[in-house]
Amino acid sequence: MAAWDLSVTVEELGPEAPPLKVSVTSDLHIGGVILKIVEKTQIKKDWSDHALWWEQKQQWLLRPSWTLEKYEIHADARLSLTPQHKPLRLGLPNGTTLRLQACFSRPVFQTVMGVCHLLNLRHPEELSLLRPMEVKKKKKDKEAEEEVVYDLTGLRTSSGPAHTLSNGMPMHFADSLQTEAVYKMLSVSLPAPAPETITKMPRPTSLMDKAQVHSRWLDSSRSLLQQGVQEHDRLLLRFKYYCFHDLDPKYDAVRLTQLYEQARWAILLEDVDCTEEEMMLFAALQYHIGKVSLSEPQPMTSCPAMDDLDSALQCLEVKMEAEESITADMLETMTVAPELQDYLKIFRPKRLTLKGYKQFWFAFNNTSISYYKSKEESLKEPIQQMNLKGCEVAPDVSVAGQKFCIRLLIPGAEGMNEVYLRCENELQYSRWMAACRLASKGKTLADSSFSSEVQNIQSFLAMQRTNPGANIAQTDDSINTYSLVSPRYHKKYKAKQLTPRILEAYQNVAQLPLTDALLRFLQIWQGLPDFGVSYFVVRFKGCRKDEVLGVTNNRLIRIDLSIGDVVKTWRYNTMRQWNVNWDIQQMAIEFNGNVNIAFSCVTATCKIVHEYIGGYIFMATRTKEQAEVLNQELFFKLTGGHEAI
Amino acid sequence: MDDIDAMFSDLLGEMDLLTQSLGVETLPPEPPSSSSKENNFSMGFADMNVESLNELEENDLDALMADLMADLNDTEEKLAAELGGQKEAEAPHPDLPPASHGLSFYPESSLSTPTSPERGPNTFSAPLADSPAPILSPPTLPQHAKLSMEEIEAQMKADKIKLALEKLKEAKVKKLVVKVVMHDGSSKTLMVDERQTVRDVLDNLFEKTHCDCNVDWSLSETNPELQLERGFEDHENLVDPLSAWTRDSENKVLFQERPDKYEVFKNPQNFYLWKKDKKTIKDMKDRDKELLVEENFCGTSIIVPDLEGVLYLREDGKKSWKQRLFLLRASGIYYVPKGKSKTSRDLVCFVQFDNVNVYYGKEFKNKYKAPTDFCFVLKHPQIQKESQYIKYLCCDDAWTMNLWVTGIRIAKYGKSLYENYKTSMKKAAITTAWTNRTAGTTSIPSTPSPTTKAKASGQANGHAPQPPAEPVAKVGNAPPPPPPMLPTQILPPPPPDPVLPPPPPPQATKKSPPATSVPRQLPSLPTSFPPLPTSMANLPPPPPSLSQDDSSESPPDFLPPPPPTLGFGPGAGSLPPPPPVSFLPPPPPDPGFPLPPPPPDPAFCPVTNRDSLPAPPPRQSNIGAGAPPPPPPPPSASAGLQSTPSVRRTGPPPPKRTTPPLAAPGGGDFMSELAKAMAKKRGNQ
């Protein structure tokens, strides 16, 4: 067989070097070609990660046993020998950027699997890579370059299941202090962003905007290089499918945190719409999570992995102590609750009379407040006793105006009684407020949460003192409320108007441990009506105007583009089949009862929509038992398609 | 009335004496159940603020007295048991440790858990702590004898303190005497302590009323003054809402069937797909319903039905009703302000659910000039009279009202609602089994035998003289049926049972009527078994059914069930009534629940099957069909006998699910269809 020259570019020889010419025959297999090239370069290094890339055909030559003939490579082909893993800048849900080695030769689905394995993110099938929004103005380029990049290119994982240390950190992060810091950044939610950061970020204002986002997903069944991604490019790693399988705080420190970050940004940037009340609750949870993350160095201490002997021993000790302390505990709970007594002013807005505040001697007892004419009379019958169990407690506070009032709505048989208590100073206020809060939940002053409640209130009061304009990130007890809500509320409220609103919501979550708070945030997020809908602008067959197709984990939604109203929904479980006509980029779906729909995609390629639907169906096939094994074949079957040309 | 009072004080005195003697000798502290009972005596009447004693009707008093007497017996007995147990523990080398007293005590610990989780495990003192062990391997018991005297003394001292503290704590527990109006208008009086949930009280009532125990039974309160009614949720504490009643209140607690209680789990499509046309909703397949429940209640977060619609709102103070567009979200009810869109950001919060309950309004057309009678109300549970803080809403029809009230309950209670439902289903399944058993004669008497058999394997002598099962229900009141014991010994025990190393789960234990144990009642242990032992004792045990029962009795935890039962399977299936089968269900207390499908009697509660079956691998079979393996037959099939009857119900779903996609032209399923299409495409190119 005749030998001919094959020209191959080798990166290692430098960018200016001319392509190498190797003499080959058509029946030479790829492995042999590589061997020849390597010999010719005379560079001694580990070439195992290198593979041949066929520039013109945008194709990797990954099968070493295939011959050049089989690949239909002739003398005019220009190949390059290049590493399969290249550094990539990866934007995480929490806004930070990592530099790490990603696979450029395998389908993106597997690239994501590799990245997730490295980052200790379980269930990589739920994530995918998104091209970042193109930066329009050149001014912003500078800022982008300024961003901190955490370098993880040196990190290598062992194959097989990741071994984790007792604190849940995978072994490979324990190499250096630097990587440990990166892991912490990954697994602990970041402090609240400065309000300016939020306002500067692009926000979707319409369904059209939201649909644009989804046009940027990479194709899971093709490789990065095939999709034009170059070394050192920046991509975003995001949760793509909104069904989070088997979320277990014990193993999912990074996953949970990143999920929370993605949810938080979705809320802050109004990607998902919510009501004002919900926004305040989200704000309260963010505040709480930020606060607890700071105080809890190990994020998941609440559920330590017991593979560590030390922790096991410790646990044992605690258990033994606990047994001994049962009696002590019992005694404690038996003791009478400590009392809170002071002169306060009371005001009952009743019958339209303007009596104003009057001073009495107040005593807190169990869940009731009694008041007397004076301290001396406190042994006699109280003027009135109010049981606060089940009542509503709201702050009416202005630090600047030195006004510290507690508004109580006390339920009675006849209705709710409105009562205002006025305290003299912050300390007094925070103690009485805490007591009222506990009492409203049926707890007494003896409850262990009393002192922490007092502290919470004090730190919240401190929020009011800070200058709302100051651009400070969250520190221990000062935070700008504008960092917790979407820009819409920056316009609507002053920062100090927000404080009491957030505080009100905060009282219901203040006692949650970190993990629970994260989960609660996610739950409320998932409970929003618009949660988990990915929008695509499509044109239905036979319709003249663009409409929106919403894809969720269990249904397809047809939405009117201009009004945003839901026109129709189809659930996946009534779906019989779907087909893609790649030529005319049209999807046809058949549902039970002879319902047929067909549409072409406007904002995204047909492949993205097809992959989204197929992906969700794939997600639904997962069961708890097979949690560990990922059925890749099925995923590609359901989401792949036109590559098989 | 005076006599009765006197009798009560006598009783009280007696109880005190008992308590004292306990305290002095400080035997292992009695389990809380008994001590709580004591306090019932001391506290119950002092604290009665629902009804005064004088208002009680004669028969109520009788019932109460019976309860009290039973409690007294109970305590006495327990004391005796403990004394026995203690002696035993102190004996240096008890060769045959499980003496009758000691033994009769053990099962209780295992019994207390399954039906009454809120009770928690009984806190037994050290000597009895490892109670289950002696049943299995007697030699382990003497362990305590090894303790030095000092240790024992120290232990006793600690126990004494514990006991005293427990009692003090107990004394703080609030109790109410509650008159419950039954569905037929009669009433029953119960003592309810503040730790009891509505579920406990329901169980208690099941026991007292012999009703069919289906999931619809519920307790509700009515407020005649406001013309309101609300079904309590099973997880609520009953005492809490009742404490809000005023002294002169005419409110009532009703025990009735409320189909709306768990309608959302039976027909989730009515709530989650309410926008769809009526026909789709009506023709919903069972499997799809399951899927809906799964989707909305089994995920990381509960999904609240996205209700929206125009409702009438009663204006504050005014007598007019104004229409507004309301929306339900997980965080509350919102309305769309005039001239605004219904996007989330424009919504105005109407009410959040933290502090309010939802009530049905009755005849508001008359009372408040409402547009229709389909009204519901949101108010703080404490409000009992007209007030501006009560929010009145009116719907166009009953369907809409039901939609909203249920939606609000889902938003407010979330997962608890589903948990409650599952618990109720279990309860219903067990009880159905019982009812069936007693009705379906043949299999009844055989029940005890397997249990004893199983026991026998564990016991040294194989005699099973003391059926360890403590009658949870009032079963013990009936004369102990001796015959069941005989068949046990005659019939060769089926192989699998003895092989099972662990003791049979409590459920099985519970069922065997006591052979010799003294009638004892543990009123605090809610149970659903209607006391029908007499009929059982009268019936001769037909051998074949015996073995059927055997299989059914085999602890659900230990799957797979004994193979031999398979042989009897067909026989069982051919029996006219499906009792033996339906008897199977007693699902394991809780953890095992999802594993073995409780195969309840289809005839009695068709829903049971549907909802309790572990969902076969769901959607893929439907859509992505072909690629994923077809849903495996429900595991119940593995349970020999079980399969026969349950096949009827469980069998069909899988095919049903798979058929639609299969129906695609060419017989290919969805996936292969897709593949084909692709291949075609390829070919064309």
In this predicted model, what pLDDT tens digit does every residue of A456-465 receive, in sequence order?
A: 888 777 766 6
Cβ of A413 within 8 Å of Cβ of B384? The answer is yes
Inform me whether the C-beta atom of residue B659 falls under 8 Å from chain A C-beta atoms.
no
Contacts A–B by Cβ distance under 8 A: 170
**Cβ-based contacts of A488 with chain B (< 8 Å):** 345
Identity of the residue numbered A641: G
A95 and A74 co-located in one domain: no
Does the distance separating the beta carbons of B347 and A577 come in below 8 Å? no
CA distances for B145 relative to B27, B89, B139, B152, B171, angstroms: 15, 6, 11, 9, 34
Q: How far lies B48's CA from each of A387, B34, B73, B191, in Å?
A: 20, 20, 23, 9
Contact across the interface for A275 and B390, Cβ inside 8 Å = no
Q: How far is B323 from chain A (nearest CA, A)?
A: 21
Residues A334-372, buried b or exposed e (16+ Cβ, 10 A)? eeebeebeeebbbbeeeeeeeeeeeebbbbbbbbebbbb
Selecting from A247, A623, A644 the residue whose C-beta is nearest the C-beta of B617 gives A623
Which residue pairs, CB below 8 angstroms and at least 24 apart, start in B334-343? B334/A275, B341/A564, B342/B308, B343/A273, B343/A564
Alpha carbon distance B353, B331 (integer Å): 7
Closest partner residue to B623 among A413, A569, A617, by Cβ? A617
Same domain (yes/no): A109, A50: no
B537's tokens: 């004792």
Q: Which range has highest mean pLDDT (A86-100, B594-608, B642-656)?
A: A86-100
pLDDT band at A476 (very low <50, low <70, confident <90, very high): very low
- Strands, sheet with A149-151, edge to edge from the N-terminal-most edge strand: A127-130, A234-239, A85-91, A97-103, A149-151
Radius of gyration of chain A (CA): 31
Q: Which chain A residue lies closest to B249 (C-alpha atoms)?
A: A413
Residue B539, phi-psi category: left (phi > 0), alpha (psi -120 to 50), beta (remainder): beta
CB contact under 8 A, B168 and A508: no
Q: Which of B291, B304, B671 sits opposite A573 (nearest CB)?
A: B291
Are the beta carbons of B622 and A575 separated by less than 8 Å?
yes
Asked if A578 reaches chain B (Cβ–Cβ under 8 Å), the answer is yes
CA distance A628 to A624: 9
Q: pLDDT per residue over B588-642, tens digit each? A: 444 433 434 444 443 333 333 334 333 333 333 344 333 444 444 444 433 333 3
Residue type (1 letter), A359: Q
What are the chain B neighbours of A278 within 8 Å (beta carbons)?
Answer: 329, 331, 344
Chain B residues 315-374 within an 8 A CB cutoff of chain A: 329-332, 334, 341, 343-345, 347, 349, 352, 354-355
pLDDT grade for B681, boundaries at 50, 70 and 90: low
The answer to the question of residue A631 being in a domain is yes
**DSSP-assigned letter for residue A217:** B
Q: What is the model's pLDDT at position A54?
A: 92
Q: The whole model's pTM is what?
A: 0.68
Question: Under an 8 A CB cutoff, do A413 and B628 touch?
Answer: no
Whether A645 sits inside 8 A of B288 (CB atoms) is no
Q: Chain B closest CA to A251's CA: distance in Å?
A: 16
Chain A interface includes B281 (CB < 8 A): no
The rounded Cα B567 to chain-centroid distance in angstroms is 33
Q: How far is CA B222 from the centre of its chain?
A: 24
Task: For residue A278, give the nearest of B331, B384, B660 by CB distance.
Answer: B331
Q: Do A508 and B354 touch (CB under 8 A)?
A: yes
CATH code of the domain in which A390 resides: 2.30.29.30
Same domain, A68 and A159: no
For residue B512, the model assigns a pLDDT of 40
How far away is chain B from the Cα of A554, in angstroms, using its nearest Cα?
Answer: 8
What token pair was written down for B436? Answer: 């069936």
Q: Is residue A528 part of a domain?
A: no
Do A35 and A113 have their domain in common?
no
Whether residue A566 is contained in a domain is answered as yes
Q: Does A446 touch chain B (CB under 8 A)?
A: no
Using a CB–CB cutoff of 8 Å, tell me whether B308 touches chain A.
no
Residues 202-261 of A with CB under 8 A from B: 243-244, 247
Q: What is the pLDDT of residues A286-314, one digit of tens each?
A: 999 988 888 765 444 333 344 444 555 55
Q: What is the average pLDDT across B245-269?
A: 91
Nearest to B624 among A275, A526, A617 (CB): A617
Q: Give the Cα separation of B518 and B515 in Å (integer).
A: 9
Residue A219 DSSP one-character state: P
Residues of B in contact with A437 (CB under 8 A): none
**Residue contact A327–B306, C-beta within 8 A:** no
Residue B167 amino acid letter: K
The pLDDT score that the predictor gives to residue B400 is: 93
- Chain A neighbors of B286, CB-CB under 8 A: none
Chain B hits for A638, Cβ within 8 Å: 624, 627, 671
CA atoms A17, A21, A26, A27: torsion sign: negative
Check whether B529 has a pLDDT greater than 50. no
Shared domain for A398 and A354, answered yes or no, is yes
Last residue of a domain, one of A390, A422, A445: A445
Return the SS3 of B461.
Answer: coil
Residues A123 and A231 in one domain: yes
Burial of A467 (0-12, 13-18, 19+ CB in 10 A): exposed
A611 in the same domain as A559: yes
Nearest residue on chain A to B682, alpha-carbon basis: A645
Which whole-number Å values give the CA distances from A525 to A392, A565, B306, in the listed order?
25, 21, 15
In tens, the pLDDT along B73-88 reads 665 666 666 555 544 4
Answer yes or no: is A197 within a domain: yes
Q: Which B residues in the span 169-198 are in contact with A, Cβ-Cβ below 8 Å?
A: 169
Phi then psi dihedrals of residue A237, to 5 deg:
-95, 120
Determine the average pLDDT of the residues in A451-457. Answer: 83
CB pair distance less than 8 Å for A416 and B304: no
Domain annotation covers residue A478 = no
Judge residue B504's burial from the number of C-beta atoms within 10 Å of its C-beta, 0-12 exposed, 13-18 middle, 19 or more buried.
buried
Confidence of residue B407 (pLDDT cuts 50, 70, 90): very high
Q: Using CA coordinates, name the residue in chain B closest to A418.
A: B389
A625 in any annotated domain: yes
Given a cut of 60, whether residue B553 has pLDDT beyond it is no
Of B158, B617, B677, the CB nearest to A621: B617
Domain endpoint, select from A428, A445, A462: A445
Q: Please, where are the H alpha helices in B541-618? A: 543-553, 565-574, 579-583, 606-612
Do residues A115 and A172 share a domain? yes
Q: Quote the number of domains for chain A.
A: 4
Segment B444-472, tens digit of pLDDT: 343 333 333 333 333 333 343 343 334 33
Same structural domain, A48 and A97: no
pLDDT-based confidence at B406, cuts 50/70/90? Answer: very high
Q: What is the mean pLDDT of chain A?
A: 82
Structural domain contains residue A31: yes
Gap between the Cα atoms of A617 and A615, Å rounded: 5
Backbone angles phi, psi at A551, to 5 degrees: -110, 125
Three-class SS of residue B327?
A: strand
Residues of chain B with Cβ-Cβ distance to A524 below 8 Å are 301, 330-331
Last residue of a domain, one of A259, A294, A329: A294
Residue A10 sits at φ, ψ, to 5 deg, of -120, 120
Residue A306 lies in a domain: no
Residue A63 lies in domain: 4-83
Evaluate the CA torsion angle A288, A291, A292, A293 in order and state its sign: positive
- Our measurement of the distance from residue A369's CA atom to the centroid of its chain's CA atoms, rounded to an integer in Å, reads 43
- Residue A273 has its nearest CB partner, among B345, B385, B620, at B345
One domain, residues A249 and A345: no
* Residue of chain A minimizing CA distance to B663: A576
Q: Are residues A93 and A76 in the same domain?
A: no
Considering CB atoms only, which of B334, B386, B664 is closest to A275?
B334
- Using a CB–CB cutoff of 8 Å, tell me whether A392 touches chain B: yes
Structure tokens at A154: 């040196």
User: pLDDT tens digits for A8-36?
Assistant: 988 888 878 888 888 899 889 999 999 99
Check which CATH number belongs to the domain holding A160 and give it. 3.10.20.90
Q: Mark whether A410 and A539 lie in a shared domain.
A: no
Residue found under tokens 């208002």:
B55
Kindly tell me if the per-residue pLDDT of B401 is higher than 90.
yes
Q: Does B73 touch chain A (CB under 8 A)?
A: no
Query: A573-596, pLDDT tens digit by residue?
Result: 888 988 888 888 889 999 988 889
Which residues does chain A have within 8 Å of residue B384's beta carbon, measured at their own beta carbons? 413-414
Task: Say whether A621 and B620 touch across the interface (CB within 8 A).
Answer: yes
For residue B532, the distance in angstroms to the closest alpha carbon of chain A comes to 41
Token digits of residue A548: 């929106």
Q: What is the mean pLDDT of residues B666-685?
A: 53
Which range, of A123-127, A614-618, A630-634, B249-253, averages the lowest pLDDT? Answer: A630-634
Report yes or no: B302 at the A interface, CB cutoff 8 Å: yes
Does residue B98 carry a pLDDT above 70? Answer: no
Mean pLDDT rounded to a whole number for chain B: 62
Q: How far apart are CA A190 and CA A290, in angstroms?
A: 7
Per DSSP, the residues of B170-184 read HHH--EEEEEEE-TT
Nearest by Cα to B105 from B28, B17, B206: B28
Calculate ∠ Cα A162-A165-A166, nearest 5°: 135
CB contact at 8 A, B599 and B646: yes
Residues of A in contact with B344 (CB under 8 A): 273-275, 278, 528-530
For chain B, the C-alpha Rg in angstroms (whole number) is: 29
